[in-house]
Amino acid sequence: MMRKVDSKGRLFLGRYYAGKTVYVVEVGGGLFVTQDRDLAERVRALGVKALLDVYYRLLDLVGEPVAEDIERAVEDAVWRDTSSTPRS
């Protein structure tokens, strides 16, 4: 999901997270957000290398997506976020 940070540095995650505690870890120029404190601690301790290892194992398992699959996924996400009718 993509969210914009407001002028005060706040990030809106949605109503589901309202009033809940979340843990934010800076990893490799990005943010990792979770409600699980132990997971946040492990991510912080392992850092970017661990996340990349998981990503590469996933690519080995499912294969690298082709450009058409990525384009279709992006189009579907944009359609879902901007339209009230299902895409055929």
Provide the pLDDT for residue 84. Answer: 63
Report the b/e string of 15-35 with b at 16+ CB within 10 A: eeeeeeeebebebeeeeeeee
- Output 76 or 38, whichever has higher pLDDT: 38
Mean local confidence (pLDDT), 64-85: 75
Name the helix (H) or strand (E) containing 33.
strand 30-34
Residue 85 confidence (pLDDT) above 70: no
* High-pLDDT (> 90) share of the chain, %: 11
Distance CA 51, CA 39 (A): 12
- By DSSP bridging, strand 30-34 and strand 23-27 are antiparallel
Name the helix (H) or strand (E) containing 25.
strand 23-27
pTM over 0.85: no
**pLDDT tens digits along 22-51:** 999 888 778 888 999 998 888 888 877 777
Q: Which two tokens stand for residue 50?
A: 């661990």
